[in-house]
Structure 1
Amino acid sequence: MKFLEKNLVEFNVDVTSPDEAIRAAGKLLVGEGLVEEGYVDAMVQSYHENGPYFVLAPQIALPHARPEDGVIEASVSFLQLANPIVFGSASNDPVKLVFALGASSSNEHLEILQKLMTLLNNQENVQKLMDITSYTEMEQLLGGMES
């Protein structure tokens, strides 16, 4: 299970559309061999077919696809967008934080979601995610969660 490791996190990413944001977050997972290239396409396709259902909270998107679309290992990547993007979610746009989820069919999937929800249920953490500029700060944030 890979959860927001250094190679899966990027700050101040400049994208101009939801598709670009999803692809950029997905590319981090592909680059680490955690999902296949086709999984990224499936995430984008899911957005086009189902709309912005994964924009779960104000400014937070959690794009994902089905495990059979090419997940190798349960994983989460993170993009902090330079400029918020409108995904089409009336209640939660615009999005500044994108977490791409490599959703496996295992228990790891639930563990990852639990970790993510623990992180994002705290408004202070969300604010920090908006503002941090380095992985060192990210580590401190994640380290603080585990206590």
Structure 2
Amino acid sequence: MPLPPLTEATVRLGVSAADWRAAVRLSGDVLVASGSVSRGYPQRMVDVIEEFGAYVVIAPGLALAHARPGADVVENGLSLVTLESPVSFGHAHNDPVHVVIGIAVTTADVHVTGIADLANAFNDPDLVPALSAATDATTAIGLIESATARGAV
């Protein structure tokens, strides 16, 4: 089962986060609210970055926050959070981050392919600024759908 599409319920725009941990937890909280994951998952997302570094910051201004499949993942999930003010993850080239995509997957295969496919959508350098400027969920979802429809995913 691939990653689900974004919905108005899984998009939060212009939110405030004190730091990268808060930004990641916000994207995870959306996954909790959607029923994709249980409450422990957002902290696991933070733990991954604390252990392995800011590799989740895959493009200028963009982080794909996730953790490995686990018992706290109920179903594959996807969230989108844009930040009122960008935060630094400590990435040498792609900080500061304006957009955090939260990902939860049930299997290792979906983990690898889902993240790779989603990352390909962000080959368009205009996508992150456009998402950051979006003022409603419908616009943000349309931007992601358009990027994926261009054959990136």
TM-score, length of structure 1 as denominator length: 0.88
From 37, 41, 44, the equivalent of 2:46 is 44
Work out the CA distance in 1 between the residues paired with 2:64 and 2:22.
14
Work out the CA distance in 2 between the residues paired with 1:104 and 1:82.
31
**What is the Cα deviation at residue 104 of structure 1?**
2.3
Amino acid corresponding to residue 70 of structure 2 in structure 1 = E
Work out the CA distance in 2 between the residues paired with 1:139 and 1:63.
18
Work out the CA distance in 1 between the residues paired with 2:106 and 2:37.
10
Question: In structure 2, what is the equivalent of residue 27 of structure 1?
Answer: 29
Question: In structure 2, what is the equivalent of residue 133 of structure 1?
Answer: 135
* Inter-CA distance 130–9: structure 2 relative to 1 (3 Å threshold): same
Residues 52 and 89 of structure 1 are in contact (CA less than 8 Å); yes or no, is this contact kept in structure 2? Answer: yes
**What is the Cα deviation at residue 129 of structure 1?**
0.8
Q: Which runs of 5+ in 2 are unaligned?
A: none
Work out the CA distance in 2 between the residues paired with 1:115 and 1:135.
21
From 94, 102, 105, the equivalent of 1:103 is 105
Residues 27 and 100 of structure 2 are in contact (CA less than 8 Å); yes or no, is this contact kept in structure 1? Answer: yes
Q: Which runs of 5+ in 1 are unaligned?
A: none
2:67 paired with 1:59: no
**What is the Cα deviation at residue 115 of structure 1?**
4.6
* Inter-CA distance 68–22: structure 2 relative to 1 (3 Å threshold): same
- Secondary structure in structure 2 of the residue aligned to 1:68: coil
**What is the Cα deviation at residue 24 of structure 1?**
0.6
Residues 42 and 69 of structure 1 are in contact (CA less than 8 Å); yes or no, is this contact kept in structure 2? Answer: no
* Inter-CA distance 115–135: structure 2 relative to 1 (3 Å threshold): farther
Larger displacement relative to structure 2 (49-58 or 80-89): 49-58
**What is the Cα deviation at residue 110 of structure 1?**
5.2
Residues 66 and 102 of structure 2 are in contact (CA less than 8 Å); yes or no, is this contact kept in structure 1? Answer: yes
Amino acid corresponding to residue 26 of structure 1 in structure 2 = G
Work out the CA distance in 1 between the residues paired with 2:88 and 2:23.
11
Instruction: Give the number of equivalent residue pairs.
Output: 147
- Secondary structure in structure 1 of the residue aligned to 2:107: coil
* Inter-CA distance 109–84: structure 2 relative to 1 (3 Å threshold): same
- Secondary structure in structure 2 of the residue aligned to 1:35: coil
Residues 61 and 98 of structure 1 are in contact (CA less than 8 Å); yes or no, is this contact kept in structure 2? Answer: yes
Larger displacement relative to structure 2 (16-25 or 130-139): 130-139
Question: In structure 2, what is the equivalent of residue 83 of structure 1?
Answer: 85
Give the CA RMSD over aligned residues. Answer: 1.9
